[in-house]
Amino acid sequence: METSSVDKLCELNDPYTNNPERDALFVEAVKENYAFQLEKQPFIRYLANHHHFHIDRIKTIADIADIPPLFVGIMKIHTFCNFEEKDIEMVLTSSGTKGQKTQSFFDAASLNRLSSLALKCFHACGWTSDVPAHFFVMGYNIEEAKNLGTSWSNNQLLSLAPNKSVNWTILKDEKGEFNFDYAYWARKVIELSEDAPIRLTGFPAFMSQLAYEIQRIKPGFKVKEGSFITAGGGWKNHKGNVLTHQEFGSLMEESMGISTACIRDIFGMAEHGIPYCSCSAGHYHIPVYSRLLIRDPLSLAVLPDETEGLMNLISPYNMAQPNLSVLATDLSIIKENCPCGLQGKYISSIRRGGISKNRGCAIAAQEILNKSQGGKS
């Protein structure tokens, strides 16, 4: 059987290298995905008819901007799935038990594509190492939250280096509630760092509280060279105040000796799936497997680079649901020629848009962090 354009796109190496041939392949993969969505999803057909859009209009990379995007809010209140339950390999949710949540569906092929392309992005951004490390995951134990998107993402990050140990730090207590015992984990970090580098992954708010505790019990503490941080989501400190990357980097360097060059971040959305990894300059790079358009919030016209607007995220990797083109509420700016040396465009800034706050994983986690301030020792 001939390899599909979607598979060929996701099999590409060097994820931050683009050229006309790769643009053409992206266009073919988009057309392949969109034709399937039109067949399976009445709402996608409605959007196409409403906007007088026909798939034959997709001829160049610029034409993908004409695809009517699916608004991210609709994915939080409606379930879209193209396959029968028996053909779905995994279902992930973006939040806890309250409030709006997105369900992300993956057939086996789509899940394999996402896993493969994500690892290529991590490696190309310099996140991987052959040196064994102790992992501390600032996230929900995957054995107790296996369908939570952040837990699956954190589990992927365990492949960045050989595991000397894996420590999930948000655990259920005897009442069945998730808790974070930051004092215990601070002592554990100090203990295990004696024989190998450590790697912290997950919510930076939890890493922040861990760092303050380490400062308190062992001033001047330094981890071994090769230690690394991969953060994602929840950019507030233990008091609920916004935590900037600069403040976070200074805290990690002062409390553990981890330099800012070894602190990276991921921007991602459950409704889209592609990881946007930060480089040594702190910018989120756009891989060849996706495209980002910036749109005017009122007219939805595509805006030029270096202009702030709504994010329109496009990727054809997932055939299980119609998230080919998703319009987010986040406000962003796209630039190119990053000083880190990676080719292509990158996201230079991200601001949360909208007038209401969705209760996602990070907000639910913040509530756990607030609860942990009860005087544990």
Instruction: Name the percent of the chain lying above pLDDT 70.
Output: 85
Q: What is the mean pLDDT of residues 201-225?
A: 94
Strand, coil or helix: what is 236?
strand
pLDDT tens for each residue of 123-144: 999 999 999 999 999 887 766 6
- Asked if the model's pLDDT at residue 98 lies above 50, the reply is no
Lowest mean pLDDT among 125-129, 272-276, 280-284, 300-304: 280-284
Distance CA 302, CA 293 (A): 7
Work out the angle between the directed axes of helices 20-40 and 42-50 (0-180°, nearest 10). 110
Q: Alpha helices of 229-301 — where are they, by DSSP H?
A: 245-256
Run of H or E including 259: none
Per-residue pLDDT band for 71 (boundaries 50, 70, 90) equals: very high
pLDDT of amino acid 174: 77
Lowest mean pLDDT among 125-129, 228-232, 237-241: 237-241
pLDDT tens for each residue of 242-276: 777 888 899 999 999 999 889 999 998 888 999 99
- Asked if the model's pLDDT at residue 240 lies above 50, the reply is yes
pLDDT of amino acid 50: 95
Q: Point out which residues pair with 170 in neighbouring strands.
A: 140, 180
Q: What is the mean pLDDT of residues 4-28?
A: 97
HEC per residue, 305-368: CCCCEEEEEECCCCCCCCCCEEEEEEEEEEEECCCCCCCCEEEEEEECCCCCCCCCHHHHHHHH
Distance, first Cα to last Cα, the chain = 60
Lowest mean pLDDT among 14-28, 265-279, 313-327: 265-279
Q: What is the mean pLDDT of residues 181-186?
A: 95
Distance CA 323, CA 34 (A): 10
Q: What is the mean pLDDT of residues 197-224?
A: 94
Distance CA 179, CA 361 (A): 14
Supply the pTM of this predicted model: 0.87
Beta-strand relationship, 133-140 and 198-202: parallel
Domains and CATH numbers, the chain: 5-83+286-351 (3.40.50.12780), 116-268+359-371 (3.40.50)
Six-digit token pair at 173?
């207590």
Averaged confidence pLDDT in the chain: 87
pLDDT of amino acid 18: 93
Task: Provide the greatest CA pair distance for the chain.
Answer: 65
- Pick from 145-149, 156-160, 243-247 the range whose average pLDDT is largest: 156-160
Six-digit token pair at 180?
């974070």
- Pick from 19-33, 154-168, 229-243 the range whose average pLDDT is largest: 19-33
Q: Which of 135, 152, 156, 134 is nearest to 143 (CA)?
A: 152
Strand, coil or helix: what is 164?
strand
Q: Which of 57, 61, 48 is nearest to 20 (CA)?
A: 61
pLDDT of amino acid 375: 44
- Asked if the model's pLDDT at residue 39 lies above 80, the reply is yes
Distance CA 314, CA 320 (A): 15
Per-residue pLDDT band for 149 (boundaries 50, 70, 90) equals: low
pLDDT of amino acid 196: 97
- Asked if the model's pLDDT at residue 96 lies above 80, the reply is no
Dihedral sign, Cα of residue 284, residue 152, residue 315, residue 303: negative
Residue carrying structure tokens 């894996």: 166
pLDDT of amino acid 151: 66
For residue 139, CA distances in Å to 87, 113, 234 come to 28, 24, 11
- Asked if the model's pLDDT at residue 357 lies above 80, the reply is no
Beta-strand relationship, 345-351 and 309-314: unpaired
Q: What is the mean pLDDT of residues 196-204?
A: 93
What is the length of the chain?
377
Q: Point out which residues pair with 148 in neighbouring strands.
A: 93
- Asked if the model's pLDDT at residue 323 lies above 80, the reply is yes
Q: What is the mean pLDDT of residues 5-16?
A: 97
Run of H or E including 258: none
pLDDT tens for each residue of 325-340: 999 999 999 999 999 9
Are 142 and 154 within 8 A, CB to CB? yes
pLDDT of amino acid 145: 56
Per-residue pLDDT band for 22 (boundaries 50, 70, 90) equals: very high
pLDDT of amino acid 68: 96
Lowest mean pLDDT among 88-97, 204-213, 226-235: 88-97
- Asked if the model's pLDDT at residue 315 lies above 70, the reply is yes
Are 220 and 226 within 8 A, CB to CB? no
Buried b (16+ CB within 10 A) or exposed e, 121-149: bbebbbbeeeeebbbbbbbbbbeebeebb
Phi, psi of 267 (to 5 degrees): -105, 130
Distance CA 89, CA 320 (A): 10
